[in-house]
Structure 1
Amino acid sequence: MSRDVRDLDESVLARWPLPDPSGGKEERGRVLVVGGSRHTPGAVLLAAEAAVRAGAGKPQVATVGSVAVAASVALPEAFVTALPETDEGEIAPSAAEHVLELATEVDAVLLGPGLLSPERACALLEQVVPHLRCPVVVDALGMAFVTEHPEGLAHLEGRAVLTPNESELAETLGQDASYVHTHLFESCVELVERTGATVVTGGEETVVVAPGSETLWSLEGGVPGLGVAGSGDVKAGVLLGLLGRGLPAVGASAWAVVLHQAAGRAVSETLAPVGFLAREVLTSIPREMARVARGTGP
């Protein structure tokens, strides 16, 4: 398929109007974040709060039992579930049944933020992903499942989004990181064709590629300060929230990429070009979403 590369500016988002924000929390989507470890509890908190900042109504977090209570205190808006964990403080594969029980009641699921071991991440997702029917975002070390099972998302029929960074994309494709960096579009297209999922990745240039589309979307002019730990968790959480509200995979991906950059730029202009924290981006998301929505409305 011949594909055209187009700029993903804010005006393009009119293709995917945001859902009506009226109604209660149930109407705006229930979302589930699965991840974290004893050593990385913050990843799921950043993602879950980002989903709410993007308009989701009811956030849920499933993480290891040793940090679940602290997570519920840190994010009191979320329903937090304690999962069985290994001696190393990671989510045990035996948690899969509990995760699936939670997933039956939500509108979208994010798998991967804060996981530490590719092997255990893959073992967990092998028992979870084949049974999911709602939209799914696979992030960070959750990509280990995609590496081993590139066909494993096909049953979702285009309702899955992959959000690897460039090194994770290279690992999944079995390519050198330098090759992926210089052939970003080709690499994304290859992963889309292997998996049937929408792919979001990049740094200074962020790319969105959707299955069956003749268009590849590119957002340039990255914000240097967003190159910080936790930034990817925020972006994945925004994407999750928008999926939970009902946007299609490519639309949620496009909005998430633009909002993440816009919120980061707003913080950069207020504080400094670099040195701000990923969590400081969170409060700018709803304001930037409202601003962009006004510019893309009828």
Structure 2
Amino acid sequence: MSGYYTADEVRAAEAELFTRVPAGVPMRRAAYGLAGVVAAELRSRSGGVAGRKVGLLVGSGDNGGDALWAGSMLRRRGVVVTAVLLNPERAHAAGLAALRKAGGRICTDSAAAVGGLAGAELVVDGIVGISGRGPLRPAAARIVAESDVPIIAADLPSGVDPDTGAVEGPAVQAAVTVAFGARKPVHALAAARCGRIELVPIGLRLPAPRLAALEPAAVGAGWPVPGPADDKYTQGVVGVHAGSETYPGAAVLCTGGAVAATSGMVRYIGSAGPAVLAQYPEVVAAPDLGAAGRVQSWVFGPGSGTDRTARDRLAEILATDLPVVIDADGLTMLAEQPELVRGRRAATVLTPHAGEFRRLTGEEPGPDRVASVRDFAESWQVTVLLKGRSTLVAEPGGPVLVNEAGGSWAATAGAGDVLSGVLGALLAAGRKPGWAAAAAARVHAMAAESAAFAMRPDAYAAAPISATPLLRHLPRAIAAVRSLPV
């Protein structure tokens, strides 16, 4: 797993590092890595390094020092470097001296900064680091707003909260972010602000992460596939209760997600059986739970309605000792009857979006979404998958898992129905609920991206998709993660 560490965790690791290495070494390591990324980006964008122009936006903290030291290293490679000191009296003394010695230009008049950066191919954001909170101050905000030069952020985009990714006002929009020593929550929770993430090791010794992401290779290695002794029953049988006369499509999409994710068996319960069987004749359909047959997990809720019959079926499913995924209409009913899941011993996975989260808890899930989803999981003693571009998965007592999708192609009607079916299939195959939720989210996001780019392969550009092409690309996404070396 890839870990993400809060500002406090990183500062503690830095304090331990300072007991092992001479003063100044960690900053030089960070600066060297930053300079390398800037040089590579210059070469990629302009075809060279020497003679190119780079601007530095320098604040008063250590990030300003990182930027100044990196500027001195770039200067020695022939780059024209101009540093804008936003707080000249508090600029990092050693870094500033190094840049001056290397022949860098210094601008102390923030009003003239935009002109001083004219012609730059790149600007390095060294305004604030992990100790910074709140939006950019007016002078920095003006420079950032008036400059149209691509920005490489040192550690994190200034103005974005390092622990929550929240943006409360003017903030940097980076093309690339160079993370020093460890990834921070901002790199997953506000990835759109960070651009491409490059990690520069500086020697930190880090604890087990409380926020982490599954590696795609680990998802592929753990994905259930048939073994030599398997049959359709031993691979896991998932039961799906979804859809209604009003929303038969939800049944098709949810069941289709389960079919795509498993080579075992899918049983469907509900009134949309004819529509499901028309798309997936391999599904075994039954009119009610009594005729369903044996299953190893249940998915309940997409398009199921909230009438008395649906409520009775939800209560009956939750009374079993089987893992259950609850989505959509099922969550609406739980908001009114939370006692149905509280105290349940079997795995229960709730998959709300932000509005459903609010209905269930009475509160918005932000700005600290990690704390919100962790508290919800602990309070209800369930696994929670909070949907979004950065999907969060929390279960009692464990780390929060994050899946940064890399885009929002799955933000379309019916995509959540597909995700629930995939998740239910993984639970039926015996995967643990936290892992199953995070793995399902990873493959679901990959399928959405694959479908979006498949719409215009000749143009190397993506196009908006619906849930149906996402569903069709699930097997390709599963194959992709399974092909990765562990």
Per the shorter chain, which TM-score range? 0.7 to 0.9
The answer on whether the counterparts of 1:30 and 1:59 sit within 8 Å (CA) in structure 2 is yes
* 1:141 maps to 2:329: yes
1:275 is displaced (CA, Å) by: 2.7
**Greater CA deviation, 227-236 or 186-195?**
186-195
The answer on whether the counterparts of 2:258 and 2:424 sit within 8 Å (CA) in structure 1 is yes
Instruction: Give TM-score, length-normalised by structure 2.
Output: 0.52
Whole-Å Cα distance in 1 between the matches of residues 368 and 301 of structure 2? 25
Instruction: Give TM-score, length-normalised by structure 1.
Output: 0.82
2:397 aligned residue (206, 212, 225):
212
* 1:29 maps to 2:218: no
- 1:77 aligned partner: 282
1:193 is displaced (CA, Å) by: 1.6
- Residue-by-residue CA offset, 1:51-105 (whole Å, 9 max, x unaligned): 12112411111112xx4323322321111223xxxxxxxxxxxxxxx42552x61
Name the aligned partner's letter for residue 265 of structure 2.
Answer: K
Name the aligned partner's letter for residue 330 of structure 2.
Answer: G
* 1:10 maps to 2:216: yes
The answer on whether the counterparts of 1:26 and 1:57 sit within 8 Å (CA) in structure 2 is yes
1:241 aligned residue (410, 422, 425):
425
**Unmatched runs of 5 consecutive residues or more in structure 1:** 83-97
Whole-Å Cα distance in 1 between the matches of residues 346 and 482 of structure 2? 25
Identity %: 27
1:217 is displaced (CA, Å) by: 1.2
1:151 is displaced (CA, Å) by: 4.3
**Greater CA deviation, 192-201 or 253-262?**
192-201
Whole-Å Cα distance in 1 between the matches of residues 317 and 291 of structure 2? 10
The answer on whether the counterparts of 1:242 and 1:252 sit within 8 Å (CA) in structure 2 is yes
- Pairwise CA RMSD of aligned residues? 2.4
Q: Aligned pair in 2 of structure 1 residues 296, 196: CA closer, same or farther (>3 Å)?
A: farther
Name the aligned partner's letter for residue 289 of structure 1.
Answer: I
The answer on whether the counterparts of 2:447 and 2:477 sit within 8 Å (CA) in structure 1 is yes
Secondary structure of the 1:208 match is strand
The answer on whether the counterparts of 2:351 and 2:387 sit within 8 Å (CA) in structure 1 is no
The answer on whether the counterparts of 1:10 and 1:296 sit within 8 Å (CA) in structure 2 is no
1:42 is displaced (CA, Å) by: 1.0
Whole-Å Cα distance in 2 between the matches of residues 201 and 39 of structure 1? 26
- 2:446 aligned partner: 262
- The answer to which structure, 1 or 2, has the higher relative contact order (CA under 8 A, 6+ apart) is 1
Secondary structure of the 2:340 match is coil
Q: Aligned pair in 2 of structure 1 residues 151, 29: CA closer, same or farther (>3 Å)?
A: same
2:289 aligned residue (99, 104, 110):
99
**Unmatched runs of 5 consecutive residues or more in structure 2:** 1-207, 457-461
Q: Which has the larger radius of gyration?
A: 2
Name the aligned partner's letter for residue 5 of structure 1.
Answer: L
Q: Aligned pair in 2 of structure 1 residues 249, 100: CA closer, same or farther (>3 Å)?
A: farther
Would you tell me which structure has more helix in proportion to its own residues? Answer: 1
Whole-Å Cα distance in 1 between the matches of residues 345 and 484 of structure 2? 31
